Structure 1
């Protein structure tokens, strides 16, 4: 059930700071995800890793 006397404009103005905070957090999270993916892709391009296969050192 909904409240009988609702003022949407008043509620929207009261919740504006919280909504801006949520939007900011979503943008921040998206930028962090893009940054993490970008750094991981750049760091795996030439990692200089050494693998051991059958007792023999194999490097790229």
Structure 2
């Protein structure tokens, strides 16, 4: 549990410099994109390593 009383894994979104587009409901379409945040598998796994300019797009 986090100090706020939430789930640590879910609260980590607050620490991103650019907020993650994650909606916390991963559902993947046939092309491999999440249908709720519209990111590819690579984008989901590497979000924290991308530059600020990339994540703003």
Task: Place the TM-score, normalised by the shorter chain, in its bin.
Answer: under 0.3
Higher fraction of helix: 1
Q: Which has the higher contact order (CA 8 A, sep 6+)?
A: 2
Which one has a bigger Cα radius of gyration?
A: 1
Higher relative strand content: 1
Q: TM-score by structure 2 length?
A: 0.21
- TM-score normalized by structure 1? 0.20
